[in-house]
Amino acid sequence: DPQQPETAASKRPNATPPGPASDNKCARLSQDENNKVAALFQTFKERLDVKQDRRERIVKLSRDITMESKRLIFTLHRVAGASDEERLAVLTEVSQRLDKLIASKLLPISSELTGQDPWEYRRAYSPGLQELIEAMTFLEFLSTGRLLSLSGGVRDRLPSGLLVSQFDYLLGVCDLSGELMRLALNAAAKADFDTPERVLAFLQKLLGCCETVPDRGPDWFPKDFAGKLETMRQSVEKVETVCYQQCLRCIEESNIQLPVVTH
């Protein structure tokens, strides 16, 4: 037979078939990789568990704040028809209870947020914070007749480490309109004519300011602002109706003849 020329394939040494040692090495490498992945996921799990536990604690504190703030607002409504002495006693009591609420519930939230991104947990305590702002602004109106500001009022009284956004303040102020409407109605039922007029003047200015804010915005804009703004308009209309009825009642009792307008 003619001699075949040598090729690269003929010069290549015969490959050694894989044996038990090679299989064990591959198995160990695969097991090591699995262990690393498992350890990595375990680390992620622990971090997520810590965040979730923190969120649940903050949510519980927020619910407690909501409940106590509603009690404070209910107490403040006792000033309708009260004497000056009784009114001062109610305002003092609510102010003291408000300080206790901040110390017992808001400070723990601030401590939970130490070293954390507050925006990550804002939704967890925002409902309670809005209710608290509603109570604080209601107390300020009954005490001074003015609106408690965000920078010079709310933030100064709350813990410095607690994020109080413009959104929480705006939504809390919108809810204030409902309490002022109830205050005006209760006062009118007790023949107090001055309070509804003061409430109406305040609410009309407040509504005018809130209406300058667009009721819709980017994704991060509070979606419930439009609904709260419409509720504020309805509250203003109810107080306007009360004041109008009071004027008509005064005219009827005074037998004042209204001028007849002819065209």
228: containing domain:
165-255
- Of 46 and 229, more confident: 229
> Do residues 80 and 138 share a domain?
yes
Q: Which of 116, 148, 180 is the last residue of a domain?
A: 148
CATH number at residue 224: 1.20.58.200
Residues whose CB is less than 8 angstroms from the CB of residue 202 and which lie 6 or more positions away in sequence, other chains included = 141, 145, 147, 180
Residues 124 and 207 in one domain: no
| pLDDT tens digit sequence for 61-112 | 999 999 999 999 999 999 988 889 999 999 999 999 999 999 999 999 999 9
Residue 233 in any domain: the answer is yes
106's tokens: 């808001």
- pTM for the model stands at 0.80
Mean pLDDT for the chain overall = 86
Q: Look at residues 113, 148, 183 and tell me which one is the last residue of a structural domain.
A: 148
Task: Judge whether 179 is annotated as a binding position.
Answer: yes
**pLDDT tens column, 131-175:** 999 999 999 999 999 999 998 899 999 998 899 999 999 999 999
**How many structural domains does the chain have?**
2
Per the model's pLDDT, the better-predicted residue between 103 and 33 turns out to be 103
6 annotated as belonging to a binding site for a ligand: no
Residue at a domain's end among 148, 179, 206: 148
Same domain, 123 and 46: yes
Residues 137 and 52 in one domain: yes
Residues 207 and 170 occupy one common structural domain: yes
